[in-house]
Every structure is written in structure tokens, then in C-alpha cells.
Amino acid sequence: MAEKVLMKGNEAIAEAAIRSGLKCYFGYPITPQNEIPAYMAAHLTKKGGTFIQAESEIAAINMVYGASCTGARAMTSSSSPGISLKQEGISYLVGAKLPAVIVNIMRGGPGLGNIAPSQADYFQSVKGGGHGDYRMIVYTPETVQEAADLTMKAFDKADEYRNPVLILGDAILGQMMEPLIFKEPSGRTFDKSSWKLGNRKDRPSHLINSLSLSEGVVEEWNWELKKKFDLMTEKEMMVEEYLTDDADLVFVAYGTSARICRAVVNQSRKEGYKTGLIRPITVWPFPSDVISKCTRKTKDFFVVEMSLGQMIEDVKLAVLGRASIHFHGRPGGGIPAEPDIMKQLKEIMKK
């Protein structure tokens, strides 16, 4: 049976991708995700796949575009500045209806920032980033195990919807070592014969593009895309609710911040405070309904992020003034500290 292994988050993502049938990986070095390309160079090529160290993140995402056109499972990874460079390509992937998996192991910004963990690319990940009306599923793993599991899922969802899927982690997730067990990949197969390029026999030619200058065509196709985004919203939202049933205050946090909040929930409960945690596993689609429902019994929400506050806007939209929202954020590579959150929690609970 599957055995327990000890791995860094970055390596677990890479290994899970290879197990998911990844054929082509393209990337450009940037800390703190360098273990991913290194793992691919060492292991993917041995499995007959392609690894290229591209000349830039722009080239890498466009190599993904090309490989995906042929029906091959393709992937790239980077960290914040590099992900900024990929935004045009991500928009094109959506526009051309191409599956792809993209990993962002976030670091402090803006600009070159630093190589410390951060969650400051939330807006970029869920509110567009690139141009045009588009959406993509964004997974935010909390543990190395979950990073591996969600990577496997990401490949299936990319193929199912013919849309890029983003895995959003941070330097802590990428660098920390944890034990995990690789699950069996789903084994789902996707028929791409109606659109993929190459090996054409007795079929009309196929075109992968995202342009039409004829009147109304691009509008029509945006409405088509919307149907897909609506379906994702309906079916793909993932969230964990931890001890929310009797909670007077509910934390909302994802990824590393959620890990920290979980510890605060456990400690504060020992001290007699009834707290809970809503942890979005997908930040798009966002668990708005879960938060909204929670306002019936909870009147205090406490958002914790490794940024100046980005997801908090989506929490506000879900709460719609029916409860108070509190915030603790650390930008630029700062990591929220449990004692600081606990102190702020106690002040809130005093009122």
C-alpha cells in the first residue's frame, strides 16, 4: 500500500503532478519554488516527459499553451513576480479554452519584495490578474498532504472545464517538510479529440485561438464562458468548517494563515472562548454562502491574512453588514503570530 513519505511542499506538488500524468513542465527559476523545476528536471524526464527551463516566465506559460494545444497535460510554476509575467498567458489559456495547471508559491511584494511567505497575490489570483472577463479555480492548500491531493485534483478540473487551474501556496507551504501519503490519481480520462491539434486524420482542421474580429462573436463566447464559470461556482467550491457550530467568533483564513488560526482556535477554546474557523480551500469559487449562513449565529468574523487585507473584501461581500468583521494582517513577508492574534481576539471578546 501507499507508504508515508517526508517531503517539502514544493516536491510533493511536483511528484503529485507527475503521478497525475503530467507530460510537459516549463518553468523559470525563482525562490521559493525552485524545488519544483529541480524535481521535474530530475524525475519528469525519466518518465519520458518534457522539462524545459524557459528563458522567462512569459515563455514558460506560452510553452504550456503550445503543449496543452496538443492535448498533453502541461504545467508551470513560479512565485509572485513570475506569476505577474504569466498573466497575459493565463488570460489566453482561458480565452482559447486550454487546460493547464499553474502553481504560485507566493513571496513578499510588491516589486521584487523578498522571498518570505506571503498571501498578497489574492487579488491577482481571484479577481483577474490578466485582462478580460475570466475566472479560474484557485486551490489554497494548508498542508503538504493537501498540496499533493489538490494538485491531482487540479489536473482533472483543468481538463474537465478546459480552463487553467491555479494552486496558490506560500513560501512556508513550499519549503516545509511534512509526512504525506500520495493518493492514487483518479484515473479519469478526458476526450480531447474534438479540439486538440496534431495527428489529424479524417477530421476537419482544428483551431486554437482567442481572436475574432467579427461582430458579436467575442461577446457570444464570453456568455459561453460564463456558463462554465457558473458551473464551477456551483460545483467546485471547497471549504472546511472547523468548530463553527457553537462559535461566537469565526476566523476566516486560508493556507498558512488558516494553520495559524486553527492553533489559535484550539488554544482559545482551552481558555473558554468559543471560536471556530472557516477555511476556504478554493478562494475562487469563494465560499460566500457558507460565510453568509454563518452570520445567522455568529456576529464576529475575524479575517487573518498575510497581506494588508485582500480576501477580507470577499468576506465583507458575504457578510453584507450582518456581522462585525475584524482583521489581522501581516504584509511583505510577515507571519501572523499566535499571541498577537490571541491578544486581539481577547479584546474583541471583551466588548
Partner 1 sequence: MKKVYERNNIALDMPSPYCPGCGHGIIHRMVMDAIKEVGQADNTIFMAPVGCSILAYTYLDLDVCQPAHGRTPAAATGVKRALPDSLVVLYQGDGDLAAIGTAEIVHAVNRGENITAVFVNNAIYGMTGGQMAPTTLEGQRATTCPEGRNPMLGQGYPIRVCELLQSLRGLYYAERTSVHDAKNVLKTRKAIKKGIENQMAKKGFSFIEVLSPCPVNWGMTPRKALEYVEKEMAAYYPLGEFKVDGKIV
Stretch that binds partner 1, among 30-38, 111-119, 160-168, 203-211 (CB under 8 A): 203-211
Whole-number minimum distance, CB 201 to partner 1, in Å?
6
350 binds partner 1 (CB under 8 A): no
The helix/strand/coil state of 74 is strand
89 binds partner 1 (CB under 8 A): yes
4 binds partner 1 (CB under 8 A): no
148 binds partner 1 (CB under 8 A): no
Closest CA relative to residue 331, chosen from 110, 56, 88, 19: 110
Residues 41-70: x where in contact with partner 1 by CB under 8 A, - otherwise, as a string: ---------x-x-xxx-xxx-xxxxxxxxx
C-alpha pair distances (Å), 245 with each of 47, 242, 249, 293, 330 = 47, 8, 10, 11, 28
Q: How many C-beta neighbours within 10 Å does residue 41 have?
A: 16
Using CB under 8 A, pick the residue from 7, 14, 16, 24 that binds partner 1. Answer: 24
Kindly tell me which of 33 and 91 has the beta carbon lying closer to partner 1. 91
211 binds partner 1 (CB under 8 A): yes
Residue labelled with grid coordinates 506571503? 118
- Cell numbers found for residue 94: 482561458
- How many positions of this chain bind partner 1 (CB under 8 A)? 39
Pairing of strands 177-181, 4-8: antiparallel
Using CB under 8 A, pick the residue from 194, 205, 270, 351 that binds partner 1. Answer: 205
Residues 172-201: x where in contact with partner 1 by CB under 8 A, - otherwise, as a string: -------------------------xxxxx
Using CB under 8 A, pick the residue from 207, 223, 270, 350 that binds partner 1. Answer: 207
Cis amide leading into 99 (omega within 30): no
List the interface residues with partner 1, window 100-139 (CB under 8 A). Answer: none
Any residues with CB less than 8 A from the CB of 65 and at least 6 apart, and which?
89, 92, 93, 96, 98, 100
Kindly tell me which of 2 and 213 has the beta carbon lying closer to partner 1. 213
CA–CA dist 78, 88 (Å, integer): 15
- Cell numbers found for residue 294: 454563518
CA–CA dist 319, 268 (Å, integer): 23
CA–CA dist 336, 351 (Å, integer): 23
Kindly tell me which of 197 and 238 has the beta carbon lying closer to partner 1. 197
Kindly tell me which of 70 and 292 has the beta carbon lying closer to partner 1. 70
Whole-number minimum distance, CB 217 to partner 1, in Å?
13
Contact positions toward partner 1, by CB under 8 A? 23-24, 26, 50, 52, 54-56, 58-60, 62-72, 74, 88-89, 92, 96, 197-201, 205-211
